[in-house]
Homo-oligomer: A and B are copies of this chain.
């Protein structure tokens, strides 16, 4: 059972994990460097624990102490009981859901491990928006994708906003990040593992995804690029085939989250 500690001083060093949560630049640097991430809200905290993440501490406003009683009892981490006002002063925002947990990251998974067992994977290139990353994980989990490979410049799936939007799917969908030297050359390893790499793009010369869906091999990787620019020329060249979702009207494209959901469904 973890101890419940009432804290009234916003400068208390035990609150360090929760400081300035709205400073995206700061948190993006600090959290990976310190091996931590923030889970927000009861459901997400419970899902992080269920997925085997270790809790460093919880920060709860009074009415959440009761709701989280079982979590406190089952876990050695300390719980910091704070007023809503103090929570806001420390984090920088009004914590609507009154429950935050600082969780420890796990060692990064390797692409090789992921490729060894998966049959359907997602490859993301340059998706820098945390909301889009979270939404893609949520759809990937719901629509049967087995894992995600991230280009070096993709946003962190364990950033608070991504975690929240994913509804905790970032905890259950395995993923690995390819490093700078291995992007996009690392895609050769994906092909060597027996995957057909499909690049999703609205561009010329792409095959209708409905046609592709009729002749899928056992192992398929679907690659999605950044909102706006789409996949880079290098990533497109590294793919086996370009596929497109048929579009109506004079619309630029689907939002990358919507395109991902459609592609996962079509290729399931």
Contact = CB atoms under 8 A, between A and B. Distances in A.
A95 to B, nearest CB: 20
Contacts of A247: 142-143
A258 interface: yes
9 contacts: A135-B255, A138-B251, A139-B254, A142-B247, A143-B247, A143-B262, A172-B250, A257-B257, A257-B258
Nearest to A120: B248
Contacts of A268: 246, 248
Interface of A: 135, 138-139, 141-144, 165, 167, 169, 172, 245-255, 257-262, 265-266, 268
Contacts of A138: 251, 254-255, 258
Contacts of A246: 268
A124 to B, nearest CB: 15
Total copies of the chain: 2
Nearest to A142: B251
Contacts of A169: 251
A179 to B, nearest CB: 28
Contacts of A250: 172
Contacts of A142: 245, 247-249, 251, 253-254, 258
Contact of A261 (B165, B172, B248, B254): B254
Contacts of A141: 248-249, 251
Nearest to A258: B261
Contact of A265 (B245, B251, B253): B245
A252 B167 CA distance: 9
Nearest to A254: B142
A165 to B, nearest CB: 8
A143 B268 CA distance: 19
A230 to B, nearest CB: 14
A85 to B, nearest CB: 23
Contacts of A259: 261
Shortest 5 CB-CB contacts between residues of A and residues of B:
A144-B248, A258-B261, A142-B251, A262-B265, A141-B251
Contacts of A251: 138, 141-142, 167, 169
